[in-house]
């Protein structure tokens, strides 16, 4: 663990007793200082209570930094806006994994490392015949990615740095291949082998869209749009799925199992499943004139209806990724020659209304990364059921980088949150004859 700079202390005093604890106040490079509570139970005999860990730092990390109030997102210190503009996904993978931008030789070596793991074992193809054709592709991703561990018994000794790196290459390289297989299986089309002469994004589109019956040339517009979507979704601090991966990794579980756990957590509509939910929400509303009625429903707490693609646990300002995604939306639709996309018109009208409505403004609910990504993916011809799968393909580098950082931290221990117990007090077993 990094020796964090102690900038002071936080004194906690227990009312009605003469006991108090001095907790070190620690500061990182950027962001909110933290009170180190590791001695709190020892000094005061109490735990802290923070359901959902919204105010709790679970680790120290060098990978990604978010300033939710300022709408800032940095990957290893580089602003997401600059990376989206000037970098590409494979270079961002190197940056997230190793901490610095590569020189030409390093990038070439890394690309080779990732590229030569794109194929999956031929027997993995047989897994698919066990799934229904209409299985949700995220269910297939959970199963098949977790099953990779059954093929790499030689690659699960996580104390070996080289094995960790190969596992990382395998996961980064095979996720698009497995994702495309899930898509082809749903279509009843043959699986398409990866092509190592194509870029990461182009190869992914090739495996998703090409068919043996005719040549398929990847559109540079779609290649650039896909690459940008992957960059924007690559990592995001200790979000729910990354925290899941870290917790699984803290037990020493193999990386394939850890990433499968992350995929499962990402699937939820409150998290990575939101992009699919945004498109469903827009389709259910139907036409812009119905938006006010929907907004009224969202404001009615009893409806439990959420404005999907809005709000964020951390961003209380615009999600910088949403801004970039919105710009890309217009570019992609224009370059694809899509003159008027009703869903985009709906989304922009909804954004306009929400950003002027005090209910959302007072709750600091702004569009997040998922609000526009679905519209781009739909314009690219990708079905909504695949949206979260694409999010998972992108986030794999974030999960893998965070997992590596955890495993390589000599001070890391198994994650084991505590609780406050509110159940029945101790009581004796009663035979069924005594139970009334």
CA distance 394 to 27: 30
Cα–Cα–Cα angle for 210, 264, 379, nearest 5°?
35
Q: Taking CB under 6 A as the rule, does residue 369 contact ligand SDX?
A: yes
CB of 368 to ligand SDX, least distance (A): 4
CA distance 169 to 158: 14
Shorter beta-carbon distance to ligand SDX: residue 256 or 372: 372
Shorter beta-carbon distance to ligand SDX: residue 64 or 254: 64
Q: Using the rule CB under 6 A, which residue among 239, 244, 328, 373 binds ligand SDX? A: 239
CB of 83 to ligand SDX, least distance (A): 15
Q: What is the largest CA-CA distance in the chain?
A: 81
Stretch that binds ligand SDX, among 11-19, 71-79, 182-190, 308-316 (CB under 6 A): 308-316
x/- string (CB under 6 A) for ligand SDX, residues 309-328? xxxxxx--------------
Helix intervals (H) in 195-315: 200-209, 220-232, 240-249, 255-266, 274-285, 291-299
CB of 186 to ligand SDX, least distance (A): 24
CB of 298 to ligand SDX, least distance (A): 5
CB of 126 to ligand SDX, least distance (A): 33
CA distance 125 to 357: 50
DSSP state of 319: -
Shorter beta-carbon distance to ligand SDX: residue 66 or 158: 66
Q: Are 7 and 29 in contact (CB under 8 A)?
A: no
CA distance 324 to 326: 5
Q: Taking CB under 6 A as the rule, does residue 368 contact ligand SDX?
A: yes
CA distance 342 to 375: 10
Shorter beta-carbon distance to ligand SDX: residue 17 or 302: 302
Nearest residue to ligand SDX, scored by beta-carbon proximity: 311
Q: Can you tell me which residue has the tokens 């940008």?
A: 228
x/- string (CB under 6 A) for ligand SDX, residues 94-113? --------------------
Active site members: 312, 370
Q: Taking CB under 6 A as the rule, does residue 279 contact ligand SDX?
A: no
Q: Which two tokens stand for residue 356?
A: 């002027």
Q: In what order do the strands lie in the sheet with 5-13?
A: 5-13, 20-27, 34-35
Shorter beta-carbon distance to ligand SDX: residue 194 or 309: 309
Q: Are 375 and 342 in contact (CB under 8 A)?
A: no
> Which residues are near ligand SDX by CB under 6 A?
236, 239, 270-272, 274, 298, 306-314, 363, 365, 368-370
């Amino acid at each position: 663990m990094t020796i964090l700079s102690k900038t002071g202390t936080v004194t906690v005093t227990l009312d009605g007793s003469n006991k108090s604890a001095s907790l070190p106040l620690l500061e990182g490079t950027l962001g909110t200082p933290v009170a180190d509570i590791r001695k709190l139970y020892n000094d005061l005999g109490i735990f802290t209570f923070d359901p959902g860990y919204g105010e709790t730092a679970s680790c120290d990390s060098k990978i990604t930094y978010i300033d939710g109030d300022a709408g800032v997102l940095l990957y290893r210190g580089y602003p997401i806006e600059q990376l989206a503009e000037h970098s590409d996904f494979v270079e961002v993978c190197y940056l997230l994994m190793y901490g610095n931008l590569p020189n030409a030789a390093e990038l070439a070596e890394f690309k080779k490392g990732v590229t030569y793991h794109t194929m999956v074992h031929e027997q993995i193809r047989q897994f698919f015949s066990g799934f229904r054709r209409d299985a949700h592709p995220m269910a297939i991703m959970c199963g098949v990615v977790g099953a990779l561990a059954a093929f790499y018994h030689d690659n699960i000794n996580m104390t070996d740095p080289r094995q960790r790196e190969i596992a990382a290459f395998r996961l980064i390289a095979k996720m698009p291949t497995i994702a495309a297989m899930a898509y082809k299986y749903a279509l009843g089309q043959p699986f398409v082998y990866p092509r190592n002469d194509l870029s990461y994004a182009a190869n992914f589109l090739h495996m998703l869209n090409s068919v043996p019956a005719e040549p398929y040339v990847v559109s540079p517009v779609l290649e650039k749009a896909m690459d940008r979507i992957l960059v924007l979704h690559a990592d995001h601090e200790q979000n729910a799925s990354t925290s899941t991966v870290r917790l699984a990794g803290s037990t020493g579980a193999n990386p394939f199992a850890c990433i499968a756990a992350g995929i499962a957590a990402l699937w939820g509509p409150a998290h990575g499943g939101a992009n699919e939910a945004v498109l469903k929400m827009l389709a259910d509303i139907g036409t812009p004139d119905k938006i006010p009625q929907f907004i009224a429903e969202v404001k009615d707490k009893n409806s439990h209806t959420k404005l999907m693609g809005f709000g964020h646990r951390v961003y209380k300002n615009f999600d910088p990724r949403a801004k970039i995604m919105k710009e890309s939306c217009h570019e992609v639709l224009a370059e694809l020659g899509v003159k008027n996309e009703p869903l985009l018109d709906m989304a922009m009208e909804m954004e306009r209304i929400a950003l002027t409505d005090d209910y959302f403004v007072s709750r600091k609910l702004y569009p997040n990364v998922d609000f526009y990504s679905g519209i781009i993916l739909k314009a690219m011809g990708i079905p909504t059921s695949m949206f979260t799968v694409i999010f998972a393909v992108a986030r794999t580098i974030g999960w893998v980088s965070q997992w590596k950082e955890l495993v390589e931290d000599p001070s890391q221990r198994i994650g084991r949150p505590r609780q406050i117990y509110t159940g029945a007090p101790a009581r004796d077993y009663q035979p069924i004859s005594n139970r009334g």
